[in-house]
Each structure stands twice: as C-alpha cells, then as structure tokens.
Amino acid sequence: MTVPSDRAITVSGLVKTFGHTRALDGLDLTVNTGEVHGFLGPNGSGKTTTIRILLGLLRADAGEARLLGGDPWRDPAQLHRRLAYVPGDVTLWPNLTGGEVIDMLGRMRGGLNRQRRAELLDRFDLDPRKKGRAYSKGNKQKVGLVAALASDVELLILDEPTSGLDPLMEEVFQQCVQEERRQGRTVLLSSHILAEVEALCDRVTIIRQGKAVESGTLVEMRHLTRTSIAADLAVAPDGIATMSGVHNLVVEGTRVRFEVDTDQLNAVLGRLVATGVHSLVSQPPTLEELFLRHYQDDLSRTEAPAAVPS
Amino acid sequence: MRSFVGTGSLVRLALRRDRIMLAVWIGIFVVMAAGSAGATVGLYGTVEDRVEAAAAINNTPSLVALYGIIYDESSLGALSMIKLGAFGGALVAVLAIILVIRHTRSEEEAGRLELVGATVVGRNAPLAASLIVTVAGVLALGLFTALGLAAAGLSVGGSFAFGLAWASIGIAFAAVAAVTAQLTASARAAIGLAVAVLGVAYVLRAIGDTAGDGTASALRWLSPIGWGQQVRPYQGDRWWVLLLPLAFFVVVAATAQVLLGRRDHGAGLLPDRPGPAMAGRGLGGAFGLAWRLQRGTLLGWAAGFVILGLVFGNIASNIDGFLGSASAIEMIQKLGGVKALTDAFMSTELGMVAIGASAYAIQAVMRLRAEETELRAEPVLATGVKRLTWVWSHLTIAVLGAGALMLAVGLGAGLTYSAETGSAADFWRVLGAALVRVPAAWVLAGLVVAAFGLAPRAAVAGWAALVAFLLLGEFGPLFELNQYAMDLSPYAHVPRLPGGEFSVVPLLGLAAVAAALVAVGLVGFRRRDVPIS
C-alpha cells in the first residue's frame, strides 16, 4: 500500500540461506512499472532464488519483497493472477500436449487471449498437438513462452526464457517482448545473452554472490566502459600516460594504443589532436566488457572499479 | 557382436550405482527368510505338530490361494517357507523389475543413456548390462538366502532349492521387464506393465492351486511363480523345473533385444499419437490437472481390483468343494460350519487387498512429491492456484481412489459370491466388509501428507510404514510381539468382516488419525519452501 504504483517490484535487503549457503545476501532490486528490466549475474548468483521469493514459493529470511503492491509470501494466489512466469527449464507433463498445458496454465491464471494464443503458436512455429515428452528443449521453452505471452497480465517474470531457442526464435521472442513493452507491461528478464539484454532492456541490475553490484540504465552503464584507441601521431606523444582515465598505454615511436574511460574521451582526444593525428581507429565501448568484469569472481580483490580484466 | 561392445563397463557402472541398494535389499530378504525359518523350527518341533499345522493350511482355501500348497505335510522346511515361497518370490520379482527398468528405460527417459550411448557402447549393451546385473543380483540373493536358511536349521539341499526357486522368479521377471521397457516411452508405465504381468502370474497360480485335481490346476504351469513353487523345496527338490524359467528368460530376453532394434532411441513401440491442440473443459484448475495425471493409473488399478474380487468371490463360493475328506468336513462343522469358513476366507483376502489399496493411496499422494522434485509444481503454484488447493487436488484422488478400489473389489466379490449362494444379503455383507478397510488406507495417505509437509525428503517413508505394518500383521504373531506393538498398525483395528463383529468406533478413530495427519501436513506445507529438491 505504501509502495507507489510506479514500482512493479521493490526488493530491499533480501536474505535467503540454504543450510550453510547464503544464496541472497542483502539484495536490492527495483523494477519500475512499464519497463523491461534486465537481471544479470553468473550461475549460482541468486537470480532464480530471487524470482522464487518474488513468486512466494520461497520465504525470505530477512528483508522485504513487494510485488505489484502486495506481499508475495502472504497473498500469492491473488498476485499470481496478475503475472505470468516462465522458468529457465520448462518441464512439461509427459502425457499432456503443449496446447493443453498452454490453455491450462492460462485458465489457472484466470484467462487467456485466444487470438493471441493462435498468433503466437504461428510465430513460434510450435505444434500444440505433441505430447510433453516428445518436445525438444527449445520447443518446451516455447510452450512456456506462449503460455505466458498469451495471458493478459501486468507483469512478466522470465527466468532465462530463451535457453535452447534457435536464433530465428530468439528474434521472434525479442519482437514479442517489444510488443509487451508497447502495451505497457512490465518485464523482469533474467538472461545471460548480452545482445538480448542490450536490445530489450531499459534498465539492468547485475547480481553477484547474492548482492546487487550494479544497477542503472544502459546509457549510464556505457559510461563505465572504455573506448579503445589506436592512433598514428605527427610526433611522439607526450603526457598521455599521466592523463586520468588512460589505461594500458603502448607507445611505439609515433604510434600509440590505449584504452580510455568513456567519460574522459573528450579530454584525451583533445590532447591527441593538439599533437597532430595522421590516422585514428577507435572501437566503441561494449557492455560485454562490463558484464565480464562483474562475472569474474576474483575481481573484488583488485582495487579500482574500472580495473581491466586481463 | 559389435552391438554388445561396452557391456562390461556398463555392468561396472550399474554395480557402482546400486551397490548399497542391492546389498540392503538382499539383506532384508535373507533376514526375512532366515528369521521366519528360525521361528518355525522353534515352534513346530515334532512331526505331529507340523502335520497338523500343514493340514490346516492345506484345508483352508484362502491360505492355499494366497500362499500355495504344502506337498509334504511332515516337512519342516515346507511349513517354514510356505508364507514366503510365492509371496516372497513376487517381492523378488518386483526387485528384478525395478532393477531392469532403472538401468534401461529410466536412464533413457532422463537422457543419460544418450550421454553414455555416444561413447563406445553398442546398441544392445545397456539392456544386456542391466540384465546381467539383475540376474547376478537375484542369484546372489538366492544363494545368501539358501545359506541363511541352512544356518537356521533347515536341510541344505532344500535350502538351495528354495533360494534358486526365488532367484528363478526374479530372473523370469527381469526378462518381462526387459520387454516392457521397449514398449512404453515412460519408465513408470514400463514398471506398471511388468507388475501387471506379475499380478496375472500370481492369480494364475492361485487359481491353479485352489483347483484341486481339476483341469484348471494346469494354470499354475503358465506362471513363473507357479514354476518356483513346483520346484518343491524341502519336498523332493525337483531341480529340473528350474529349466522352465531359464528357457523363458532366454526366449523373452532375446525378444526384448530384437524389439530394441526395431524402435528409435527414446521412443516406445506402443505409438505416441498426437493429442488435442486445445485443453478440454475439465483441464482448467488444480483438480482437473490432478485427475488428468492420475486417472489412467486409477482406472488400471480399479480394473485389477474388480478382477481380483470376481476371482475371490468365485473361490469362496466353491469352498465346500475343496473339503475332500469326511474328517475335514467334521472339523469345519465344529469350527462353525462352511459359512464361517468362507467368511474367514473372504476376510483374509479382503485384508490383503486392502494393503494393495493402501499402496495405491500412498503412490497417489507421492505424486505431489514427484511433481515438486521434477519442477512441475512450480509453474502451477506460480498461477492463481493456492498451495493447499494443489495438495488437496492429489489428496482427494488418493482418498476417494482408495475407496473406489475397495468398492470395486467388493462389487466383484459380492457379485460372484451372491450369484452362487443366491442371497442378496451376501452381496451387501461382502461389499460392506470391503468398505470397512478404507479408513486404514487413509491413515497411510495421511502419513505421506504429513511427511510431505514437514520433511519432504522423508516422504518415501510412507512405503516403509506400509511394509512395517504388513510385516507386523504377518509375522507379529509368529514372533509373539506384544499387543501394543501390533496395535501400531492401522490394520490391527479393522473389524474382521465378514463374520467378525462390526464396530464403528475403530473406523472413526482411524479416520480421525488420518485427518490429524493431513492437517499437520497441510500446515507444514503452507510454511515451507517450494521446491525442496
């Protein structure tokens, strides 16, 4: 009730332990209504545990989780009618057909858009008459996706939903999520596929060892990354090495190669131009670099936030 | 022979996986057999005692149907092992079936066989390896049992005949399971099919043994369990009969290998037809789903129970035909007449069938656990379905299903029995006697729900409880356990109908215990994490 309606999900200080393992260690996560929120992190970092708590399946040991203005542990069934969930590994009942599972899960949620169901089956190229045991991994995943996307709900919770999909189907999935966003739905998308996250997500939260280590828009995150520069100068460079934001500088006569923090790019380029530039190649910053940095476990021991993974 | 390449390494893998489970199973069988032998040796010291006890069994058709015939009434070994010969043999067969399916269809269904199959392993190797492990396992079981029996004081030759007879039943059903593993794509269905064949084999020998000298007595020779009994351990030890299960194994196992060559990996020979593209009206909530998942199993069990009922009713109505000698008839008259005898028969058989109904209830509730561990509960509980509704959906099927099964057996037995006696009252008496067994099955279902809610990993304890109650009832009197221990079993409180005295109090008591266990389980489940793997 106290949660403003522009927040679909708010999680603060969430803790969950399994025996001696601390799966969540004070996690914070905010998802605004109407946004597609990327939820990233290495295997075993606590993404699925977070999602299960948000679904009221697991009980948090400490901290608070609010979902669509309610408490997922106390009134799960009411909240579940307003959301749809696709697990990372869709397991089907061996003797139910895909079509039956789609309809059944839809009805359990309180309704299904028949027209959208037919359209999605067509777009995902899924045969709904096969028995659960006969589907391949990718096709099982499609059954889960169609069941979720054909529901008229406010919130979609997708836990690595595209594992096992071929690139063509991945493309269809991305279009579908774009459409959901246009309809004003909120999406929490846990994913490992960086291209998917870049294409779809408005904001991203990166989780590691049960804690959120980074959260913000992709534009903000790009600022945290570096541009690679290779240049041939008129004379040997001078003073570049001491400029802030310059890393891994290699000088060979008049040629230089280095990386520069994106927010220092202007100042460094100004210095190069003052020296005289014969040729210049620059490579744009990639999110991949940022993600890899957070995925690597031992990085917490190196000091600077912008330290380079070697 | 290239298609058998890798059999050796698969055998080693299977032995590595099963070493503890196999040792425990073998230990249980040996202790059960040797314990039973030891107790009997102490109880029936003189030949007169033995002849009297053996004659009483041979003159009681219900016991003959259940356990078999004692051919040499003076034999100590025959009397000691009468309860375990066919019945224990059937349990050995269940072990063999589980072992074979576990290493063939289960592996294939889980996708692990694919992983193994991609290495240097021939097409026929996995099935061959599973048969080798199973045959070696039941042979070891038979040999250790023989040693245990001989140590308990029975004759050495007879003990080895008994052990090998047990093993032969296991070997025959290993081959049966090898075939059913080729027929269906699911391990559960393959086990169900093989167990159904086992049930038919048991009934065939029961009909054969109770047919006296009639032509139907030949039916026992159509049953691997009948073969095991016809070895007649401690009663002449007819070793040549063991050639029958051996030949059966060779032919049926070879058939299984041929069938294997005619199907695709992961598929069964029984075809998987495309199903409906849309869900029917009934499949819209937790109850619709539970019914859909469980209806096939329930209908299969119900059909089996109707047949069992028809057979029992028929045997009961012909009981006076078994009473050959005048002295036997006189003894029966003293005991309360033919009516009392048929009532006792009915009561014994219905008691055994009630254990089956409890087993049904347990496996129906265990579906909850399977749905949870196989992660199929998660997507359902992430919809508008409430947790307790989900538990109730499967529990309702267990509770009503156990009732429906006893109704089925009661209807079957009541129909054939009352048709013979011509009395409608007999129909209602038999039906009522079947239904008073239902609350005991509910207690078992309640136990599983309680475990599922509080300690889900211990939910399999429901099966252990069933076996414990069964052993308490069968062997408690033999070991002279005190009454408090025997009263732990819910079956100890069921009125012995027909013939016994009816009282509603114990039935209400059992229902109340079941309800309390369910309540505990529901409270536990509402508070715990899902899934706990």
- Count of CB atoms situated within 10 Å of the CB of B186: 16
Cis peptide before A284 (omega within 30 of 0): no
To the nearest whole Å, the CA of A186 is away from the closest chain B CA by: 17
| Same domain as B247, residue B288 | no
Is B199 part of a structural domain of the chain? yes
Residue B312 burial by Cβ neighbours in a 10 Å radius (0-12, 13-18, 19+) = buried
Q: Which of A85, A89, A99 sits opposite B382 (nearest CB)?
A: A85
What local confidence, expressed as pLDDT, does residue B334 receive?
A: 66
Interface of A with B in 216-245 (CB under 8 A): none
Q: Which residues contact B318 (CB under 8 A, 6 or more apart)?
A: B420
Is A214 part of a structural domain of the chain? yes
A137 has a chain B CB within 8 A of its CB: no
Residue A103 and residue B278: Cβ atoms within 8 Å? yes
d(CA B22, CA A179): 57
CB contacts, 8 Å: A94 with chain B: 185-186
| Same domain as B249, residue B307 | no
Read off the tokens for B405. 């099964």
Is B153 part of a structural domain of the chain? yes
Is B275 part of a structural domain of the chain? no
What local confidence, expressed as pLDDT, does residue B320 receive?
A: 61
What local confidence, expressed as pLDDT, does residue B174 receive?
A: 97
CB contacts, 8 Å: A128 with chain B: 277-278
- Domain of B442, in residue numbers: 282-533
Last residue of a domain, one of B240, B270, B300: B270
Last residue of a domain, one of B244, B270, B296: B270
What local confidence, expressed as pLDDT, does residue A306 receive?
A: 42
Q: Which amino acid is at B477?
A: P
- In the structure, what pLDDT confidence band is assigned to residue A2 with cuts at 50, 70 and 90? very low
| Same domain as A188, residue A68 | yes
> Taking Cα atoms as reference points, which of A232, A278, A294, A285 lies closest to residue A263?
A285
d(CA A239, CA A232): 16
| Same domain as A211, residue A83 | yes
d(CA B476, CA A86): 53
Q: Judge whether A98 and A144 are in contact, CB under 8 Å.
A: no
Q: What is the CATH number of the domain that holds A276?
A: 3.30.70
Q: Is B432 helix (H, G, I), strand (E, B) or coil?
A: helix
Q: What is the CATH number of the domain that holds A184?
A: 3.40.50.300
Q: Is A15 helix (H, G, I), strand (E, B) or coil?
A: strand
Closest residue of chain A to B529, computed from CA coordinates = A58
Closest residue of chain A to B384, computed from CA coordinates = A77
What is the layout of strands, in order, in the sheet containing A211-217?
A83-86, A155-159, A186-190, A36-40, A203-208, A211-217
Is A63 part of a structural domain of the chain? yes
Is A1 part of a structural domain of the chain? no
Residue B386 and residue A77: Cβ atoms within 8 Å? yes
What local confidence, expressed as pLDDT, does residue B332 receive?
A: 64
Q: Which of B284, B381, B529 sits opposite A107 (nearest CB)?
A: B284
Q: Which of B296, B383, B387 sits opposite A109 (nearest CB)?
A: B383
Beta partners for A10? A30, A66
To the nearest whole Å, the CA of A89 is away from the closest chain B CA by: 9
Closest residue of chain A to B187, computed from CA coordinates = A94
- In the structure, what pLDDT confidence band is assigned to residue B115 with cuts at 50, 70 and 90? confident
d(CA A177, CA A193): 15
Is A301 part of a structural domain of the chain? no
pLDDT in tens, A112-159: 999 999 999 999 999 999 988 888 889 999 999 999 999 989 999 999
| Same domain as B227, residue B287 | no
CA contacts within 13 A on the Cβ side of B191: 17
A70 has a chain B CB within 8 A of its CB: no
d(CA B529, CA B241): 56
d(CA A186, CA A82): 11
d(CA B253, CA B262): 15
Which residues of B make CB contacts under 8 Å with A?
A: 109, 185-186, 272, 274-280, 283-286, 288-289, 292-293, 296, 374-376, 378-387, 527-531
Residue B376 and residue A91: Cβ atoms within 8 Å? yes
- Residue contacts between A and B (CB atoms, under 8 Å): 112
Read off the tokens for B107. 């592996």
Q: Judge whether A220 and A212 are in contact, CB under 8 Å.
A: no
Which of the residues A17, A108, A127 would you substitute to probe the B interface, choosing the one with the greatest number of B C-beta atoms within 10 Å? A108
> Taking Cα atoms as reference points, which of B39, B34, B71 lies closest to residue B54?
B71
Is the pLDDT assigned to residue B323 strictly greater than 60? no
| Same domain as B233, residue B375 | no
Strand A7-18 with A155-159, pairing = unpaired
d(CA B456, CA A38): 34
Is B512 part of a structural domain of the chain? yes
| Same domain as A213, residue A102 | yes
Q: Is B495 helix (H, G, I), strand (E, B) or coil?
A: coil
A107 has a chain B CB within 8 A of its CB: yes
What percentage of chain A reaches a pLDDT higher than 70?
A: 92
| Same domain as B248, residue B291 | no
Is A79 part of a structural domain of the chain? yes
Q: Judge whether B387 and B381 are in contact, CB under 8 Å.
A: yes
Residue B384 and residue A81: Cβ atoms within 8 Å? yes
Is A272 part of a structural domain of the chain? yes
Helices and strands per DSSP (H, E), number in chain A = 10, 13
Residue A250 burial by Cβ neighbours in a 10 Å radius (0-12, 13-18, 19+) = exposed
ipTM of the complex: 0.83
What local confidence, expressed as pLDDT, does residue A111 receive?
A: 86
Domain count, chain B: 2
Residue A97 and residue B274: Cβ atoms within 8 Å? yes
| Same domain as A123, residue A54 | yes
> Taking Cα atoms as reference points, which of B269, B335, B304 lies closest to residue B499?
B335
- In the structure, what pLDDT confidence band is assigned to residue A219 with cuts at 50, 70 and 90? confident
Read off the tokens for B19. 């070493």
| Same domain as A260, residue A177 | no
Q: Which of B272, B278, B286 sits opposite A131 (nearest CB)?
A: B272
| Same domain as B305, residue B258 | no
Read off the tokens for B488. 């732990």
Last residue of a domain, one of B270, B301, B317: B270
Residue B376 and residue A93: Cβ atoms within 8 Å? yes
CA distances, A277 to each of A122, A272, B146 (Å): 55, 6, 95
- Residue given tokens 């040996």 in the structure block: B30
- Domain of A14, in residue numbers: 7-218
* Range B274-278 average pLDDT: 89
Closest residue of chain B to A100, computed from CA coordinates = B279
| Same domain as B303, residue B219 | no
| Same domain as A158, residue A108 | yes
| Same domain as A260, residue A167 | no
Write out the H or E segment, with its range, that includes residue A138: helix A137-149
Q: Which residues contact A118 (CB under 8 A, 6 or more apart)?
A: none
Domain count, chain A: 2
| Same domain as B226, residue B298 | no
* Range B291-296 average pLDDT: 92
| Same domain as A212, residue A131 | yes
| Same domain as B202, residue B168 | yes
| Same domain as A232, residue A100 | no
d(CA A14, CA A65): 7
Mean of per-residue pLDDT scores for chain B: 89
Last residue of a domain, one of A218, A237, A270: A218
d(CA B293, CA A96): 9
Is B277 part of a structural domain of the chain? no
> Taking Cα atoms as reference points, which of A151, A212, A190, A167 lies closest to residue A28?
A212
Q: Which amino acid is at B446?
A: G
Is the pLDDT assigned to residue B429 strictly greater than 80? yes
* Ramachandran quadrant class, B111 (left: phi over 0; alpha: psi -120 to 50; beta: rest): left
Q: Which residues contact B29 (CB under 8 A, 6 or more apart)?
A: B88, B91, B92, B141, B144, B145, B166
Is A30 part of a structural domain of the chain? yes
A115 has a chain B CB within 8 A of its CB: no
Read off the tokens for B420. 């013979």
What local confidence, expressed as pLDDT, does residue A285 receive?
A: 65
pLDDT in tens, B160-173: 999 999 999 999 99
pTM assigned to the model: 0.76
CB contacts, 8 Å: B528 with chain A: 59
What is the layout of strands, in order, in the sheet containing A62-67?
A21-32, A7-18, A62-67
Largest CA distance in chain B: 72
Q: Looking at A55-59, B226-230, B404-408, B420-424, which range is the least confident one? A: B420-424
What local confidence, expressed as pLDDT, does residue B110 receive?
A: 79
Q: Judge whether A158 and A147 are in contact, CB under 8 Å.
A: no
Last residue of a domain, one of A183, A218, A253: A218
| Same domain as B479, residue B351 | yes
What local confidence, expressed as pLDDT, does residue B328 receive?
A: 62
| Same domain as B197, residue B286 | no
Q: Which amino acid is at B499?
A: G
Is the pLDDT assigned to residue A38 strictly greater than 50? yes
| Same domain as B187, residue B291 | no
| Same domain as A15, residue A130 | yes
Closest residue of chain A to B388, computed from CA coordinates = A77
Mean of per-residue pLDDT scores for chain A: 87
> Taking Cα atoms as reference points, which of B330, B316, B511 lies closest to residue B416?
B316
To the nearest whole Å, the CA of A14 is away from the closest chain B CA by: 16
What percentage of chain A reaches a pLDDT higher than 90?
A: 57
Is A299 part of a structural domain of the chain? no
Q: Which of B109, B274, B384 sits opposite A80 (nearest CB)?
A: B384
- Count of CB atoms situated within 10 Å of the CB of B477: 10
Residues in chain A: 310
CA distances, A157 to each of A8, A208, B187, B193, B423 (Å): 11, 19, 33, 41, 65
Residue B382 and residue A80: Cβ atoms within 8 Å? yes
Q: Which residues contact A171 (CB under 8 A, 6 or more apart)?
A: none
| Same domain as A275, residue A186 | no
What local confidence, expressed as pLDDT, does residue A53 receive?
A: 96
* Range B446-457 average pLDDT: 95
What local confidence, expressed as pLDDT, does residue B484 receive?
A: 87
Is B276 part of a structural domain of the chain? no
Q: Which of B275, B384, B387 sits opposite A129 (nearest CB)?
A: B275
d(CA A159, CA A53): 13
Give the residue with greater pLDDT, A298 vs A170: A170
What local confidence, expressed as pLDDT, does residue B216 receive?
A: 86
Last residue of a domain, one of A189, A218, A247: A218
Q: Which amino acid is at A35?
A: E
CB contacts, 8 Å: A89 with chain B: 375
| Same domain as A231, residue A192 | no
Is B59 part of a structural domain of the chain? yes
* Range A76-104 average pLDDT: 93
